[in-house]
């Protein structure tokens, strides 16, 4: 699913006054609930009186029904009545309740003063590395998209160095005084990107936003955020990058597409990044409806590791006995002798817990693990050598010098895109580009076969285009 930059948001008021204000950078581009405004009651009333803040009903009501203006939901069963604190029976939206309850008596406050003047940074990028020819081709297309405020799909293999490819385009946007958002579905990716981008752009105010983050958007020019955080924004960004655009939950959640479209200014550049585009993106690319640049080679020039398939028909019978499948046990023993660090992907939280209980020194993480940030950092810092994970670490994170195993690789949770991304965790270091990837299975799935073919096709394309 992709969204149109021309999607209508007529209910968002244009600036009603050209009056400048020190509040503009802090308040512009947000859907503010009055309780969340970083202002006193007197300051809020004064800005409303001056026309710098305008009230907009949170729920739109028309002849065809109701629409939530925060998430775009129109499903009747998700906009339901309740005895509201205002003393009336109001309707509220259940689709975006995790961002706080909004009802038919709720209003958003939107900044309608003059647009903020963002700083025009000169030579903002401190990164001194060298892009490969493939990376430079991608970077040039990104810069062109920024300058022309267009759209672009960057279809780049796992480990291509997409972040570094962005640097010239980000630098150009900052030089033009534009506000930037890099959005991604996973909070782990936000946490990894913040220090890398802060190091590359040391004099730019960057805020990293995700559930539970310490950062707040106090008028930062550069936002790194999970796609859920975009539910707070409206007409905020001149440049939007959606990283891992095919990842869950973004690709299958209409409200996140709605929020991303609303977050863009009327004239803005939009860049999609992915190694594994879904059908809609592929179709738009093949039909020439979405400009595309393909980067088929990793930054270090070595091919992607091609997964091996190893049968492990005793998988389901082994774990209840606190035993490992024989082929997996043999492989793991070999890796231990070779002093290799290993990440093991499993389809369920229960299997992660079971496997960690069997293996001495193993640590497991999953989406509900309150300590997953600390555990992932321990693995990155080489304090542990065996990490067991569900698909939460399938993409967007980099660990040097590791081998990868997938247990029960034929499970439905491991679709083609997930398996390609998982295989892409290995061999990412230039010093160790030949990581081992093994899919342990109880019967090969079509997703496993397609994933291996996709990786082989990428390697063939890289060889062909280098000639």
What residue spans define the domains of the chain?
23-111, 133-295, 308-466
- Secondary structure of residue 131 in the 3-state scheme: coil
What are the tokens at 442? 């109880």
Residue 236: partners with Cβ closer than 8 Å, 6 or more residues away? 28, 29, 30, 179, 181, 263, 264, 265
In terms of phi and psi (left: phi > 0; alpha: psi -120 to 50; beta: otherwise), the region of 178 is: beta
How many other C-beta atoms can be found within 10 angstroms of the C-beta atom of residue 453?
12
Please choose, from the candidates 153, 429, 424, the residue with its C-alpha nearest in 3D space to the C-alpha of residue 301. 429
Are the C-beta atoms of residues 243 and 214 closer than 8 Å to each other? no
Are the C-beta atoms of residues 142 and 270 closer than 8 Å to each other? no
- Secondary structure of residue 341 in the 3-state scheme: strand
Q: What are phi and psi of 185, to 5 degrees?
A: -70, -25
- Secondary structure of residue 296 in the 3-state scheme: coil
CATH code of domain 133-295: 3.40.50.300
Q: What is the Cα–Cα distance from 457 to 392, expressed in whole angstroms?
A: 26
Q: Strand (E) positions, 229-297? A: 237-243, 264-274, 292-295
Residue 356's pLDDT is what? 95
Residue 209's pLDDT is what? 97
Are the C-beta atoms of residues 145 and 291 closer than 8 Å to each other? yes
Q: In whole angstroms, how large is the CA radius of gyration of the chain?
A: 24
Residue 188's pLDDT is what? 86
What are the tokens at 270? 């939009």
Q: What is the Cα–Cα distance from 167 to 165, expressed in whole angstroms?
A: 6
Question: In order along the chain (467 residues), what is the average pLDDT of each group of 10 residues?
Answer: 61 81 92 92 93 93 86 92 87 92 93 93 96 96 98 96 97 98 93 95 97 93 97 97 92 93 96 94 94 95 96 95 96 96 97 95 92 92 95 88 97 96 95 95 97 96 84
Residue 6's pLDDT is what? 45
- Of the CATH numbers 2.60.40.1930, 3.30.930.10, 3.40.50.300, 3.90.1310.10, which one belongs to the domain with range 308-466? 3.40.50.300
Q: What is the Cα–Cα distance from 224 to 180, expressed in whole angstroms?
A: 8
How many alpha carbons lie under 13 Å from residue 193 in its C-beta half-sphere?
32
Residue 64: partners with Cβ closer than 8 Å, 6 or more residues away? none
Are the C-beta atoms of residues 220 and 237 closer than 8 Å to each other? no
Q: What is the Cα–Cα distance from 338 to 95, expressed in whole angstroms?
A: 50
The distance of Cα 205 from the centroid of its chain, to the nearest Å, equals: 20
- Secondary structure of residue 49 in the 3-state scheme: helix
Residue 111's pLDDT is what? 95
pTM: 0.91
Residues constituting the chain: 467
Burial 332-354 (b: 16+ CB within 10 A, else e): beebeeeebbbbbbbbeeebbeb
């Amino acid at each position: 699913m992709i969204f149109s930059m021309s999607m209508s948001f007529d209910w968002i008021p244009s600036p009603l006054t050209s009056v400048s204000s020190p509040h503009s950078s802090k308040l512009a581009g947000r859907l503010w609930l009055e309780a969340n405004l970083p202002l006193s009651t007197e300051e809020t009333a004064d800005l409303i009186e001056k026309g710098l803040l305008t009230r907009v009903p949170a729920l739109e009501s028309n002849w065809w029904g109701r629409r939530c203006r925060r998430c775009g939901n129109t499903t009747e069963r998700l906009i339901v009545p309740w005895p509201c604190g205002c003393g009336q029976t109001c309707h509220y939206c259940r689709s975006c309740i995790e961002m706080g309850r909004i009802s038919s008596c709720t209003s958003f406050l939107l900044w309608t003063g003059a647009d903020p003047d963002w700083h025009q940074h000169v030579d903002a990028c401190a990164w001194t590395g060298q892009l490969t020819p493939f990376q430079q081709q991608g970077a040039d297309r990104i810069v062109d998209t920024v300058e022309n405020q267009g759209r672009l799909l960057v279809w780049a293999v796992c480990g291509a160095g997409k972040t570094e490819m962005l640097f010239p385009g980000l630098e150009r946007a900052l030089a033009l005084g534009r506000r930037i958002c890099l959005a991604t579905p996973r909070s782990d990716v936000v946490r990894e990107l913040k220090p890398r981008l802060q190091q590359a752009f040391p004099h730019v105010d960057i805020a990293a936003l995700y559930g539970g983050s310490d950062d707040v958007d106090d008028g930062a020019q550069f936002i790194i955020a999970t796609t859920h955080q975009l539910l707070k924004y409206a007409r905020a960004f001149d440049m939007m990058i959606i990283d891992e655009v095919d990842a869950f939950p973004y690709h299958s959640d209409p409200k996140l597409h709605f929020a991303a479209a609303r977050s863009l200014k009327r004239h803005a550049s939009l860049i999609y990044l992915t190694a594994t585009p879904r059908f809609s993106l592929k179709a738009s690319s093949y039909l020439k409806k979405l400009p595309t640049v393909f980067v088929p080679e990793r930054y270090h020039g070595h091919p992607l590791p091609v997964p091996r398939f190893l049968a492990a028909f005793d998988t389901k019978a082994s774990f209840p006995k606190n035993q490992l499948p024989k082929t997996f046990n043999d492989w793991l023993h070999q890796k231990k002798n070779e002093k290799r660090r290993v990440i093991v992907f499993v389809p369920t939280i229960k299997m992660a817990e079971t496997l960690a209980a069997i293996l001495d020194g193993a640590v497991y993480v999953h989406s509900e693990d309150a300590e997953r940030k600390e555990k992932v950092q321990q693995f990155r810092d080489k304090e542990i050598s065996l990490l067991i994970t569900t698909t939460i670490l399938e993409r967007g994170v980099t660990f040097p010098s590791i081998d990868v195993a997938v247990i029960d690789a034929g499970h439905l949770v491991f679709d083609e895109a997930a398996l390609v991304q998982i295989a892409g965790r290995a061999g990412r270091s230039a010093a160790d580009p030949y990581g081992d990837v093994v899919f342990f299975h109880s019967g090969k799935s079509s997703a496993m076969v397609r994933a291996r073919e996709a990786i082989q096709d990428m390697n063939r394309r890289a060889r062909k285009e280098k000639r």
